[in-house]
Structure 1
Amino acid sequence: MPKKPVDANKPRGPITAYALFVRTCRDELRRKYPQLTVDYNVITRKCSERWKAMNENEKRRFNETADLQRKRYKEELATYQQEQSAKLLQQQSVASSILLQTPSAQYL
């Protein structure tokens, strides 16, 4: 089954608190050990262990950032959906006007 084409204008989903943490953790490890070339699976595993060891207070900044991302995404998605529905209505009105202008076969 072929994949649906993806609309380039559609907003991307919000990033989770854990994904924000992993991104930060990975950047820290790269800065700390620039000479090492480590497999991403190893880095992700280490970051996962750190995330599990963190308490809620330490996770708060990532959760707050993720909440802001989620709110921003909802706003962008609502705007995108309004634009898409307006485009669809316009396309439907154009199609119906074309149908009204073309003579019907029954009159020929």
Structure 2
Amino acid sequence: LDKNLALRVRKSEEDGKWIVSGRGVLHLSVLIETMRREGYELQVGQPQVIFKEIDGVKCEPIEELTINVPEEYASKMIDMVTRRKGEMVKMESAGERVNLEFDMPSRGIIG
């Protein structure tokens, strides 16, 4: 924790489990793999998005998602992302490829 300032660890009062908060799934995956290599045995639960209340409104983190795909896969990618609550911001053709930009809730990326 001294070297990883973006990491937060606390013990749950309800069930005594350790709750680890980080900068995303990749950040937590690196932590888990490092601990396993050091000989720790872990039971890891499903990652959860942390919601925050701002001025009485429950808010969630929104990610900027950029996808670059061949033209023939663009509609499939748009469908996949919009099913996970992503909103298309921009679509640009670049030769035979398409750049798609979305705003998407973090929970849609985590699954």
Shorter-chain TM band: under 0.3
Name which structure has the greater RCO, CA cutoff 8 Å, separation 6+.
1
Higher share in helix: 1
TM-score by length of 2: 0.25
TM-score by length of 1: 0.25
Higher share in strand: 2
